[in-house]
């Protein structure tokens, strides 16, 4: 580690014991940092980005709150910007999970040689993050910097259900499952990774209103309903609109098909158990149902009402709704 990184790591070590802690969703703890509940991993990532990330005007950052469609959006943006580099029948997405094709910023900024250096990546760099918008340094969020964020969010009721299933997959064997009631309480209190969920959405939503060229906000439900339109929108936003020739060749349709839940979840690489010490989460863990509205099968009417109330309160007057 060079001296600069050593200093950041030391600052992280000094800060962590001073932060408010809460029980997490698996065996982790979440810590309150600048208004958000993050794991130590997220906090360290944020501080390393502050001190060491060198943004480029061409950077594209896929931003999500966990369980809102990270896997899907990574795949879509990857295939949109690389559409001239690969054949759809022999595409990298048929052999690798999107998390292995899109560098996760918080992990790749470590500076300890354990991950590929993002400084060495060719432009345009496609990166991914779960961090809230307000945690990014000004050099990335002010209007003079040209790096762009593509964000996706999702109905919090479906996010909660997805996250609850995911948490129970991740809990070590022998640890009792997290009950839905517990998960619900944590989520409503805002205690979820990179939460409060609503504040995460609002940060990106407001930024997209103030800087529409810099931040594009999508909703999982809209992408499900109108995938072709959404793919075109992302391509336009990124400055690589589909040409009439590409439209004739139905490239947009190819991308939508390639990235669909049905196709992706059926690739061998996403079906097999890929768990390892380095990567305790298997590729298959990122695919469950991929539907809108599965919450009705899990949440009580009272739970859904409470969540809707919180959502309404939080988004009142912001112009945003699900």
Sign of CA dihedral 181, 187, 189, 193: positive
Could you identify the residue written with the tokens 């409470």?
306
- Sheet containing 60-64: which strands, arranged edge to edge? 103-104, 126-129, 60-64, 148-153, 215-219
Shortest gap between Cβ of 296 and ligand A3P (angstroms)?
12
| Cβ 31 vs Cβ 42: under 8 Å | no
User: Which residue lies nearer to ligand A3P by CB, 47 or 258?
Assistant: 258
**Which H or E run includes 232?**
helix 227-237
Q: Cα(312)–Cα(224) distance, rounded to whole angstroms?
A: 23
| Cβ 59 vs Cβ 148: under 8 Å | yes
Q: Which candidate in 91, 103, 130, 200 is catalytic?
A: 130
User: Which residue lies nearer to ligand A3P by CB, 9 or 83?
Assistant: 83
Which residues bind to ligand A3P, rule: CB under 6 A?
64, 66-72, 158, 162, 165, 259-261, 264, 286-290, 294
Q: How far apart, in Å, are the Cα atoms of 79 and each of 63, 151, 230, 232, 268?
A: 16, 16, 13, 12, 19
| Cβ 238 vs Cβ 70: under 8 Å | no
Neighbouring CB atoms inside 10 A of 291's CB total 12
User: Which residue lies nearer to ligand A3P by CB, 69 or 111?
Assistant: 69
Could you identify the residue written with the tokens 């593509």?
150
Is-catalytic flag, 130?
Answer: yes
| Cβ 198 vs Cβ 310: under 8 Å | yes
User: Which residue lies nearer to ligand A3P by CB, 47 or 251?
Assistant: 251
How far is C-alpha 199 from the chain's CA centre? Answer: 15
Q: Which residues are catalytic?
A: 130
């Amino acid at each position: 580690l060079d001296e600069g990184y050593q200093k950041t790591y030391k600052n992280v070590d000094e800060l962590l014991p001073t932060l408010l802690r809460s029980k997490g969703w698996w065996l982790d703890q979440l810590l309150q940092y600048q208004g958000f509940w993050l794991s130590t991993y997220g906090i360290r990532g944020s501080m390393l980005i502050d001190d060491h990330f060198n943004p480029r005007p061409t950077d594209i950052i896929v931003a999500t709150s966990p369980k809102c469609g990270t896997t899907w959006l990574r795949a879509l943006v990857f295939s949109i910007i690389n559409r001239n580099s690969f054949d759809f029948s022999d595409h990298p997405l048929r052999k690798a999970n999107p998390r292995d094709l899109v560098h996760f910023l918080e992990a790749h900024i470590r500076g300890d040689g354990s991950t590929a250096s993002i400084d060495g990546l060719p432009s345009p760099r496609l990166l991914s993050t779960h961090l809230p918008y307000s945690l990014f340094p000004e050099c990335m969020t002010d209007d003079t910097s040209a790096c762009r964020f593509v964000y996706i969010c999702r109905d919090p009721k479906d996010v909660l259900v997805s996250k609850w299933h995911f948490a129970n997959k991740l809990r070590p064997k022998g640890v009792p499952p997290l009950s839905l009631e517990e998960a619900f309480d944590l989520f409503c209190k805002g205690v979820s990774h990179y939460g409060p969920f609503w504040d995460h959405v609002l940060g990106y939503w407001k930024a997209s209103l103030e800087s529409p060229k810099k931040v594009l906000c999508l909703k999982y439900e809209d992408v499900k309903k109108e995938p072709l339109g959404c793919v075109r929108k992302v391509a336009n936003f990124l400055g690589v609109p589909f040409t009439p020739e590409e439209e004739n060749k139905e490239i947009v349709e190819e991308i939508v098909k390639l990235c669909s839940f049905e196709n992706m979840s059926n690739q061998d690489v996403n079906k097999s158990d890929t768990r390892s010490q380095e990567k305790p989460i298997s590729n298959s863990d990122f695919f469950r149902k991929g539907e809108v509205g599965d919450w009705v099968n899990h949440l009580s009417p009272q739970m859904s009402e409470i969540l809707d109330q919180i959502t309404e309160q939080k988004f009142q007057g912001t112009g945003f709704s699900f």
